[in-house]
């Protein structure tokens, strides 16, 4: 994901000049550190009603603001009437259990724990409807949150990021959690078949969550190939567990701007819009 940063700088600059920045960047103290996040709350929120919270995590080498512009989930939150928050990782990264020590590396889980506590105190958030999504390293990290903050994350949508080995080894509880994995078959950054010393394969992740959730639903399959954009999307669902494979898809956010300056990120499918799927995921 570090290669995505340079590519997104130009897009980010264009967006800054073209639209009003609606997200508010704020800070929270965690132990002896000051951590940063950007928040957008829909103008449709009624203070007397509780609303969902979506935590949206950037990939390695990206920033929270770049993730905000790239994924465009502010618009989703505005239209659907909920709150979206983009946490900022130290050095634009997250501690996911490989490439830095799980225990002595950055204290990112502590950051999110405090952040959620502060958000619940200051915003009309339904504590039983907190969801997480992330791209690449951000997708790896949201699964660590599920492991270490049991009962707090109702469901997660991981893009280009199966479960880290260390995360699976440290799962503390077995309560059901809605899970969705989205991965391009041509992803050259994170292998769909896993990496022995780092993370599982997508198939292993799907099997894990189906077993953990005791999912008995029959598999439904939908194949989408309407736009002839050289990608084909296959959506397989077993109730609380969903796998979305993008044939010829790369290490990208489905439906996002396919802006590319030559880095090997691969194709961005337009056959589906991930934000539409996110809305369904939150509402169902």
The helix/strand/coil state of 1 is coil
Q: Read off the CATH number of the domain in which 203 is found.
A: 3.40.50.1820
Q: Which pLDDT score, from 0 to 100, does residue 29 have?
A: 97
Q: Give pLDDT tens digits for 216-237.
A: 999 999 999 999 899 999 999 9
Whether 278 contacts 142, CB under 8 Å: no
3-state secondary structure 153-182: CCEEEEECCCCEHHHHHCCCCCCCCEEEEE
Q: Give pLDDT tens digits for 98-154.
A: 999 999 999 999 999 999 999 999 999 999 999 999 999 999 999 999 999 999 999
Give the ranges where the chain is alpha helix by DSSP (H).
Answer: 2-18, 64-71, 73-80, 108-122, 137-148, 165-169, 202-212, 274-283
Report the domain count for the chain. Answer: 1
Question: Which has the higher per-residue pLDDT, 90 or 2?
Answer: 90
pTM, rounded to two decimals: 0.92
Residues in the chain: 284
Q: Give pLDDT tens digits for 44-76.
A: 999 899 999 999 999 999 999 999 999 999 999
List of residues 6+ apart from 251 with CB closer than 8 A: 1, 4, 136, 160, 184, 187, 188, 189, 190, 265, 266
Judged by average pLDDT, the poorest of 8-17, 83-92, 102-111, 192-201 is 8-17
Note down the domain range covering 184. Answer: 2-283
């Amino acid at each position: 994901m570090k290669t995505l940063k340079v590519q997104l700088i130009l897009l980010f600059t264009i967006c800054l000049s073209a639209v009003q920045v609606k997200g508010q960047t704020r800070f929270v103290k965690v132990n002896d550190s000051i951590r940063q996040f950007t928040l957008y709350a829909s103008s449709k929120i009624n203070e007397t009603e509780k609303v969902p919270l979506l935590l949206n995590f950037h990939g390695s080498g990206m920033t929270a603001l770049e993730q905000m512009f790239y994924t465009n989930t502010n618009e989703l939150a505005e239209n659907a009437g909920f709150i979206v928050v983009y946490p900022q990782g130290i050095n634009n990264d997250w501690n996911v259990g490989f490439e830095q020590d799980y225990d002595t590396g950055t204290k990112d889980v502590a950051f999110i724990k405090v952040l959620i506590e502060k958000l619940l105190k200051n915003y009309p958030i339904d504590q039983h409807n907190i969801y997480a999504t992330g791209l690449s390293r951000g997708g790896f990290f949201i699964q660590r949150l599920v492991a270490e903050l049991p009962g707090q994350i109702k469901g997660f949508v991981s893009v280009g990021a199966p479960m880290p080995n260390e995360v699976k080894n440290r799962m503390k509880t077995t309560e059901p959690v809605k899970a969705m994995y989205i991965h391009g078959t041509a992803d050259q950054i994170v292998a769909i078949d896993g990496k022995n010393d780092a993370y599982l394969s997508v198939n292993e992740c799907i099997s894990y969550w189906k077993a953990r959730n005791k999912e008995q639903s029959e598999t439904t399959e939908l194949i989408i190939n309407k736009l002839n954009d050289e990608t084909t999307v296959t959506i397989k669902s077993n109730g609380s567990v969903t796998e979305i494979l993008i044939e010829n898809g790369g290490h990208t956010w489905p439906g996002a701007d396919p802006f590319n300056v030559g880095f090997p990120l691969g194709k961005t499918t337009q056959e589906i819009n991930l934000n539409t799927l996110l809305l369904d995921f939150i509402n169902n």
